[in-house]
Chains A and B, each alone.
Chain A
């Protein structure tokens, strides 16, 4: 969990651990499959998905391009609603503000609903350091809090735990043995957390969207805990990434169409709440005092950067995780950061502005583009991964061996006689390692590849060796083409062109 821990290991080392965890792999595959199929079904049923994606992208692009206007409008409106708005440039400032509010509220405990921003800040630890108990109330988050771990999936945080492990964790908390039965376990959590909701002085939420024109904040959830946290305690603190803004409630319809369908395949989450300020004086519930902390923490670094600005369009649905062939194999913890999957691989180094330290997460991708296809606001994540890799090399943090290798490759490939010489050398050299036509040795640079595959040997006669003969044969063959055959082919081409002019037949593949 700690920074030290993640520096010791690389993504590759963590992924090796994950690949050896049979349960984790199965659970991740099963869950991502379920969510992905849910999304597929929901988007097909809804129809015109591309138009909705494009609309979502346009709204996000527009808002981010005018963020100074919309964020300022949101802040002024939220203040007019009676909200205490604060700004934090860094995670440390946000933590300091939160602790200050907690101390002034005389808080002994804080109940929290799921918030990725709060994970960014490592807030629970900070609250505990001043003697305030922080309780995660989302069922999955509560489980991983008891286990002292990080979420492994943005939507289903405890994806990596089985019911027996969960029963053990909750039994320890209960002081008696709970059966490994989902209903019983959830029932225990409901009862336990009910007490926490009613006791806590502060409720803490994240923010899915903030509506600029009315200063409202919007939460999507299924359990009801975000409603609890924002209804029962006397003080509410909302942590909000500075880019969460949308202009209006009308725009929310587009986000509400894209987010739940992309995240879980639902038409809408069980609860969608729009909160506009603290309780009115005559209301009998809702918080007396409401704070919104607007957090930068590296986000503004993307503004004005043509390669990465669209990163701020992200609506945190997790669809790219479920679509990613790498994530589906190694799970979230292998990324070693708050955000995992393709979005995490780009967001983490971008927010931290220290590409060198996080370089290897950008390599945890096959650049297949499935993340882009899945993204409801069309963020070109696969392009961004390439940009990151390029920046890493440009900043002098590339792999030295790789650079030398690439230079060598260029030298050899740049000259045909040099290449020929190398190939002849290779043919001689490989005699030491070829067994029944293939190379299986895991020595030196072949280790990575040959662990799961075999390397083919160089053939006795290569394409290059045969080229001269082939070239002559081809030239002769073309000259000798039968004239009737040539006529037939030309006739076919004319006919096709005619058909295309008349609008018949498709383009290309016929």
Chain B
């Protein structure tokens, strides 16, 4: 390998750009129209109209989210305040003797002062030390603690977005995942969350957008349901507010 990595990537890109034109021209020719450069009319964009008008009340959203999350083997707690959420986490950590805890570096979580309260656990805060190999910190953790960016009642899903202070690994690698969902972030339909990404536009999207609808599962061995195959096997959704 005489070329540097950068030169090699540049070479690939030049090849790719040349091929892109041929590729698209070939598609247009086969479709028997001239190359299209203008955005076509798309009259069927998104869900049918009757669906876009569908909305549940907050009580219904809480009930439906809870039913859905429980039905796939997740756990839900309905809490009034962040203090209650803190107490829930402290109790769970004690009950399950969590040794290592990793949490996102979000202000709402910082305010819980878990580092001060979880005296028997070692709590790491995501990406606070550039020297750390953070993926390994998340992989060894018993608990991962995150704030939800959005949640969807109809499918029983929670959305987490990646950022400097929000690792993708924190909701993925620990054995137990605890997600705090401020109640006002709980929407009725999936589309209410998805449309925000269209509105934000390409440049504003994070690298990772993850919808989580319960514990990791598989039915690959004799159709027998197994929980916690790769991702967290125990997931708590704490609805707060």
Contact = CB atoms under 8 A, between A and B. Distances in A.
Contact of A214 (B32, B167, B202, B222): B202
Interface string A260-283: 000000111111111111111011
Among B13, B28, B44, the most chain A Cβ lie within 10 Å of the Cβ of: B44
A228 B230 contact: yes
Contact of A156 (B36, B37, B206, B219): B219
Contacts of B208: 230-231, 273-276, 286
A71 B220 contact: no
Interface in B186-241: 189-191, 194-195, 197-198, 201-203, 205-224, 226, 228-232
Interface string A336-377: 000000000000000000000000000000000000000000
A66 B207 contact: no
B111 interface: no
B167 A284 contact: yes
A303 B229 contact: no
Interface in B61-78: 68, 72
Contacts of A276: 202, 205-209
Nearest to B222: A163
A268 B211 contact: yes
A253 B46 contact: yes
A84 B30 contact: no
A75 B13 CA distance: 12
Among B126, B195, B217, B218, the most chain A Cβ lie within 10 Å of the Cβ of: B218
A304 B32 contact: yes
A386 interface: no
Given A137-B230, A186-B229, A59 B44 contact: yes
Contact of B217 (A30, A31, A222, A250): A222
A387 interface: no
Nearest to A85: B16
B167 A285 contact: yes
Interface in A54-98: 55, 58-59, 62, 65-69, 71-72, 75, 77, 80-81, 84-87, 89
Interface residues of A, number: 100
Given A156-B219, A249-B195, A268 B190 contact: yes
Nearest to A166: B221
Nearest to A140: B220
B38 to A, nearest CB: 8
Among B1, B27, B30, B156, the most chain A Cβ lie within 10 Å of the Cβ of: B27
Interface string B17-40: 001100111111011100111111
Contacts of A190: 228-230
Interface residues of B, number: 91
Contacts of A270: 72, 212-217, 231
Given A182-B222, A248-B198, A277 B27 contact: no
A472 interface: no
A181 B45 CA distance: 47
A381 interface: no
Nearest to A82: B207
A482 interface: no
B16 A300 contact: no
B12 interface: yes
A158 B197 contact: no
Contacts of A280: 163-164, 206-207
Among A51, A100, A278, the most chain B Cβ lie within 10 Å of the Cβ of: A51
B205 A214 contact: yes
Given A55-B44, A163-B221, A231 B172 contact: yes
Contacts, number: 284
B202 A80 contact: yes
Contact of B220 (A157, A251, A252, A278): A157
Contacts of A162: 222
Interface string B114-158: 000000000000110000101110110000000000000011110
B42 A62 contact: yes
Contact of A273 (B136, B169, B202, B209): B209
Contacts of A86: 12, 15-16, 19
Nearest to B26: A300
B47 interface: yes
Nearest to A51: B48
A456 B216 CA distance: 57
Contacts of A256: 155, 190, 194
Nearest to A274: B209
A140 B202 contact: no
Contacts of B19: 86-87
19 contacts: A31-B223, A100-B12, A139-B226, A143-B221, A182-B224, A186-B218, A186-B228, A214-B198, A214-B201, A231-B135, A231-B168, A248-B45, A250-B45, A253-B190, A274-B210, A276-B208, A279-B162, A284-B132, A286-B207
Interface of B: 1, 5, 8-9, 12-13, 15-16, 19-20, 23-28, 30-32, 35-40, 42-48, 50-51, 68, 72, 126-127, 132, 134-136, 138-139, 154-157, 162-164, 167-169, 172, 189-191, 194-195, 197-198, 201-203, 205-224, 226, 228-232
Interface of A: 27, 30-31, 34, 48, 51-52, 55, 58-59, 62, 65-69, 71-72, 75, 77, 80-81, 84-87, 89, 100, 103-104, 137-140, 143, 156-158, 161-163, 166, 182-183, 185-186, 189-190, 193-194, 198, 213-216, 222-225, 227-228, 230-232, 242, 247-254, 256-257, 266-280, 282-286, 294, 296, 300, 303-304
Given A250-B194, A275-B209, 19 more contacts: A48-B51, A51-B48, A68-B35, A72-B20, A72-B24, A86-B16, A103-B1, A163-B221, A182-B221, A198-B136, A224-B232, A248-B45, A250-B191, A251-B46, A253-B191, A253-B194, A269-B213, A276-B205, A285-B135
